[in-house]
């Protein structure tokens, strides 16, 4: 996903195979179509028609080995829930239980039924890169690229291509980038929240902490992080469930500086 903070144009692709440079494909969507998001096989075909190399086999020896070991472990862990058989590679079927909303009694807290997710996300289970850039004219752009969660269910789309979730920019205000449990974070559009909070006068540090805390109140086991930067270049980060690092480089800096944010 890429977003122009001046025009508010967005280009994004999702569930795309055989194309190595997803962020380039997203930019092609923004530059050459009036759409915002293309997905699946047709997104791949579009990208190739616009000049990107492909179809390309994106498997590596490391990824194949990881997948084989996962299969040998009966496809555990995975992202299925309320299905049978539980400890296998499927095919899966509903276990026949009613929805939580239909089985809870008055006064029960439905959040008790939310499965803990910490075993799915961590430093080595996904590979999101989110970036914000401010040019010499003060124009801001953001971009996010990711392969998504390891061992995800085929067809899954996370927060990477969702404007306002993985990233958001408004050159009048600032920008935000996010990483972590995208299935949870995209429900809150945390980066849109950050930019709007800064619009109302919050400092980047407070805006980032506020967006993270909104998620943590509902999902205390989630893992995620945010960086925020205003139009003047003041930046900060906030995280939950891990220690987060982000890097900054400006024309005045001799080298890139890494900032560490603790939960």
Closest CA to 193 of 220, 171, 217, 173: 173
CA dist., res. 157 & res. 163, Å (int): 13
DSSP character for 163? B
Do residues 167 and 143 lie in contact, with contact meaning Cβ atoms separated by under 8 Å?
yes
Helix (H, G, I), strand (E, B) or coil at 244: strand
Task: State the catalytic residue, choosing from 7, 33, 104, 128.
Answer: 128
Verify whether residue 128 is a known catalytic residue: yes
The secondary element (H helix, E strand) that includes residue 176 is: strand 174-180
Do residues 227 and 208 lie in contact, with contact meaning Cβ atoms separated by under 8 Å?
yes
Q: Is 205 exposed, middle or buried (0-12, 13-18, 19+ CB in 10 A)?
A: middle
Whole-Å CA distances, 196 to 8, 78, 191: 14, 35, 9
Task: Return the active site residues.
Answer: 128
């Amino acid at each position: 996903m890429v977003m122009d903070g001046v025009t508010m144009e967005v280009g994004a692709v999702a569930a795309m195979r055989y194309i190595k440079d997803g962020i380039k494909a997203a930019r092609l969507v923004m530059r050459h179509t009036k759409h915002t998001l293309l997905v699946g096989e047709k997104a791949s075909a579009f990208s190739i028609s616009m000049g990107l190399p492909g179809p390309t086999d994106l498997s590596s020896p490391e990824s194949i080995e990881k997948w084989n070991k996962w299969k040998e472990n009966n496809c555990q862990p995975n992202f299925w829930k309320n299905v049978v058989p539980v400890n296998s590679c499927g095919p899966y079927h509903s276990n026949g239980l009613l929805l939580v909303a239909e089985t809870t009694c008055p006064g029960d807290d439905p959040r008790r039924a939310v499965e803990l997710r910490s075993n799915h996300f961590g430093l080595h289970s996904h590979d999101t890169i989110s970036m914000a850039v401010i040019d010499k004219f003060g124009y801001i752009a953001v971009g996010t690229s990711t392969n998504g969660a390891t061992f995800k269910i085929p067809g899954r789309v996370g927060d990477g291509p969702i404007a306002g979730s993985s990233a958001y920019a408004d050159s009048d205000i600032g920008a935000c980038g996010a990483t972590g449990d995208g299935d949870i974070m995209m429900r809150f559009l945390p980066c849109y929240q950050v930019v709007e909070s800064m619009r109302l006068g919050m400092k980047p540090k407070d805006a980032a902490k506020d967006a993270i805390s909104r998620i943590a109140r509902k999902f205390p086991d989630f893992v995620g992080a945010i960086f925020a930067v205003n139009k003047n270049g003041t930046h900060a980060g906030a995280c939950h469930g891990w220690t987060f690092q982000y890097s900054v480089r400006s024309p005045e800096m001799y080298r890139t500086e890494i900032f560490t944010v603790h939960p």
